[in-house]
Chain A
């Protein structure tokens, strides 16, 4: 029973972090701000995918988070190279 409180606490904290990151994404004045917000949101999503995989108790669910960890920064790097003018 004590673990149930842990699940709910961590999920609520991660949801609040996700919403605050989305606020910066919608508000941010320049393109760099929005890319920083996308980077932060994708890290938060990776962590919450791992934690939800632990709650569902399936080992195979970690692969989705692994794909995010490997591929998640490619889009950020492509957009940053375009802003730099070097693509």
Chain B
């Protein structure tokens, strides 16, 4: 049973790391890819906690739908987060 605790701790650290990556990064496409990684890790964590229905919903929504919606949004607006433009408004 100790192996699940170790794997769960590693996954939690990786989850926080990729969430920080998604916040800090200025290029918004990298943030979208990081969101996909977050949903993948979260789905494995739900699976270890023996909740397969939640993991299934998280996998289906997170990896396909969220990525498609965000990429279409980036296509219609801008890709780089420009600080000067935000400050001038």
Interchain CB contact (< 8 A) of A42 among B18, B52, B63: B63
Contacts A26-B17, A60-B52 known; A75 to B75 CB distance under 8 Å? no
Which chain A residues numbered 29 to 82 have a C-beta less than 8 Å away from chain B?
31, 34-35, 38, 41-42, 45, 48-49, 52, 56, 58, 60-61, 63-64, 67-68, 71-72, 74-75, 78-79, 82
Interface SS, A side: helix
Instruction: Check A15 against B10 for contact (C-beta < 8 Å).
Output: yes
Instruction: Check B50 against A56 for contact (C-beta < 8 Å).
Output: yes
The answer for the CA separation of A87 and B44 in the assembled complex, in Å, is: 30
Question: What is the interface residue range for chain B against chain A?
Answer: 20 to 34
The number of residue pairs between A and B whose CB atoms lie closer than 8 Å in the complex comes to 93
Contacts A41-B40, A61-B47, A79-B32 known; A72 to B75 CB distance under 8 Å? no
Instruction: Check A71 against B33 for contact (C-beta < 8 Å).
Output: no
Residues in B lying within 8 Å of A, measured CB to CB: 3, 6-7, 10, 14, 17-18, 21, 27, 29-30, 32-33, 36-37, 40, 43-44, 47-48, 50, 52, 55-56, 59-60, 63-64, 67-68, 71-72, 74-75
Residues in A lying within 8 Å of B, measured CB to CB: 7-8, 11-12, 15, 18-19, 22, 25-26, 31, 34-35, 38, 41-42, 45, 48-49, 52, 56, 58, 60-61, 63-64, 67-68, 71-72, 74-75, 78-79, 82, 87
